[in-house]
Amino acid sequence: MPSTSATDLFTPANLINGTWSFEGDGTFNTVLDKYHGTELARIPHATEAQMEEAIAAAYGSRDGLRRMSAGERSAKLNALADIIERDQDELAKLVVHEGGKPIGYAKGEIARCISTVRTAASEALRFAGEVVPIDHDAGKGKTAFTKRFPIGVIGAITPFNFPLNLVLHKVAPAMALGCPVVLKPAPQAPLSASALGRMLEEIGWPKGAFSVMLCGIPVAEKLVKDDRIAMLSFTGSDKVGWHLKAICGKKKVALELGGNASVIIDEGTDLAAAAKTVAMGANLYAGQTCISTQRIYVVGNAFNTFKEHLVKEYNALKTGDPSDPAVAVGPIIDKGHFERISAWVDEAVKAGAEVLAGGKAVDAARNVYAATLMTDTDPDMKVNCAEVFGPVAVIEAVKDFSSAIAKVNNSDFGLQAGVYTNNFAHVKQAHEELEVGGVIINNVPGFRVDSMPYGGIKDSGLGREGLKYAMEEMSEPRLIVY
């Protein structure tokens, strides 16, 4: 039977070695409804001893997971997908409550979760090594091939903005391979991860092979530094990610970090249609995604017309209660981020930037900020060079397509970029010259299908996610020659 409400899905405790613990270090993490400000849960912060128990249990579960056949792991994943599908409506509501995500987008996240897990179930059956052609020189007459083996325990740290799907982008490929996971979810939105713990109990995933816990920084650093953790998989800010890489020791690291994603609008494209997509791509979920459109570069004569279309689309966006299906721009995740976004916009205006839309709070009590479009910005303004992670974008004119590429590349980040063009030579040029992990043609940089390789270069990260690609990160090839 499906759960009767979103609050039935999670347990306000830490799951440690198969047991829900309501005790910790005496301090608690309070989770609030991001629009109404009401308390959803209080979860204890785990102690170092509890983190030790979780790591030890995960380390001890490795052999049991390795002995599970690929078919068994695939069946467990499909069972998990069935549960997510069963409870999808209430899971979407939970994402709205804890993350402030608009309900339409939250439903989209849960649909993606189902696809993520089912794809992992399929990859568990077909993931393989490769035949190595060595039948020449000293290898004459010999056969060689690789088989991939699970790397071991995965330490996973996840952000608030996709509180279930980004967790599953770490947990599902680990399950497909047979890697145990110790997960620290985002303190702002940990309840979907708790719900996942309940789901894994329901499908009978081995005790100790998955723990989920909230903790302070010293306890979290134990997860990062412990030698029994074979790989750290982190999604979050670039500052934190590179710090964790510096202290994690010899273990393998995958970092999915931030960006100030760009879109290029070329001459000769459908400017009205592009403006609709770009406006949503810059402001959906109040811009709180790593690949939210932040920098818009418009080529040549297209600038004025596109700017008019875009301002019109901005003014049509609805802000407010994320439970309202018509709302695109809901609350910022917390007061600190809300105040930072407001300060960055004000700072840019004082330095000469022009506000074309928004530029102010809509509901400061609920941390709702207007969809904001600016122009005449300098490259060193924070709204341009840093990651806003809010409903703020800049639009600037460039003389030609090559200049647009140079503007996109003038960044410390390189996650994804969008390119609107009908010129195939420009499509090829964008693929060859844009310094990003992914080039999205005739769409915004926020486009993502969960099976595709996803990740960035420069300060945007290290390694790739996307089920098969994450499994490659979480496994090691072993060669045999005979």
Q: 3-state SS of the chain: helix, strand, coil percent to 5? A: 45, 20, 35
The sign one gets for the Cα dihedral 283, 288, 292, 296 is: positive
Q: In this predicted structure, what is the pLDDT of residue 4?
A: 55
Q: Is 72 a catalytic site residue? A: no
Phi, psi of 319 (to 5 degrees): -115, 160
Residue with token string 């980004």: 166
Residue among 250, 84, 93, 48 nearest 172 (CA):
84
Partnered with residue 147 across adjacent β-strands are: 478
User: In this structure, which long-range contacts are made by residues 250-253, counting pairs with CB atoms below 8 Å and at least 24 apart in sequence?
Assistant: 251/155, 251/227, 252/151, 252/473, 253/462, 253/463
Cβ–Cβ under 8 Å, residues 253 and 231 = yes
Look-up: residue for tokens 């947990």?
Answer: 171
472 has catalytic annotation: no
Strand extents, DSSP E, 300-447 = 354-357, 361-363, 368-369, 372-375, 392-398, 413-414, 416-420, 438-441
pLDDT tens for the chain, 482 residues: list them: 344 588 899 999 999 999 999 999 999 999 999 999 999 999 999 999 999 999 999 999 999 999 999 999 999 999 999 999 999 999 999 999 999 999 999 999 999 999 999 999 999 999 999 999 999 999 999 999 999 999 999 999 999 999 999 999 999 999 999 999 999 999 999 999 999 999 999 999 999 999 999 999 999 999 999 999 999 999 999 999 999 999 999 999 999 999 999 999 999 999 999 999 999 999 999 999 999 999 999 999 999 999 999 999 999 999 999 999 999 999 999 999 999 999 999 999 999 999 999 999 999 999 999 999 999 999 999 999 999 999 999 999 999 999 999 999 999 999 999 999 999 999 999 999 999 999 999 999 999 999 999 999 999 999 999 999 999 999 999 999 99
Intervals of CATH 3.40.605.10 along the chain:
6-257+460-481
The DSSP element (H or E) to which 401 belongs, if any, is helix 401-409
The predicted pLDDT at position 6 comes to 83
| Whole-angstrom distance, CA of residue 146 vs CA of residue 271 | 50
Q: Report the alpha-carbon distance of residue 381 to residue 181 in Å, rounded.
A: 40
C-alpha to C-alpha distances, 377 to 134, 200, 287, 372, 401, nearest whole angstrom: 57, 49, 19, 13, 19
Would you say 177 and 127 are in contact if contact means Cβ atoms under 8 Å apart?
A: yes
Q: Which of 113, 290, 313, 396 is catalytic?
A: 290
CATH 3.40.309.10 residue ranges for the chain: 262-450
Per-residue confidence (pLDDT) for residue 3, from 0 to 100: 45
**Dist CA 439 CA 433 (whole Å):** 10
Asked if CATH classification 3.20.20.10 holds for the domain at 262-450, the reply, yes or no, is no
Which pTM value belongs to this model?
0.95
Does the domain made of 6-257+460-481 have the CATH classification 3.40.605.10?
A: yes
Q: Can you state the angle between helices 103-126 and 88-99, rounded to 10 degrees?
A: 120
Cβ-based neighbours of 256, under 8 Å, separated by 6 or more: 234, 235, 236, 290, 454, 455, 456, 461, 463, 465
SS3 labels along 432-474: HHCCCCEEEECCCCCCCCCCCCECCEECCEECCECHHHHHHHC
CA proximity to 59, closest of 229, 253, 199: 229
- Using CA atoms, how far residue 58 sits from 65, 118, 152, 357, 466, in Å, is 10, 24, 9, 50, 23
Q: Interhelix angle for 70-86 vs 191-203, to 10°?
A: 130
CB-based burial label for 95 (10 Å; 0-12, 13-18, 19+)? buried
The single residue of 256, 267, 396, 473 carrying the catalytic annotation is 256
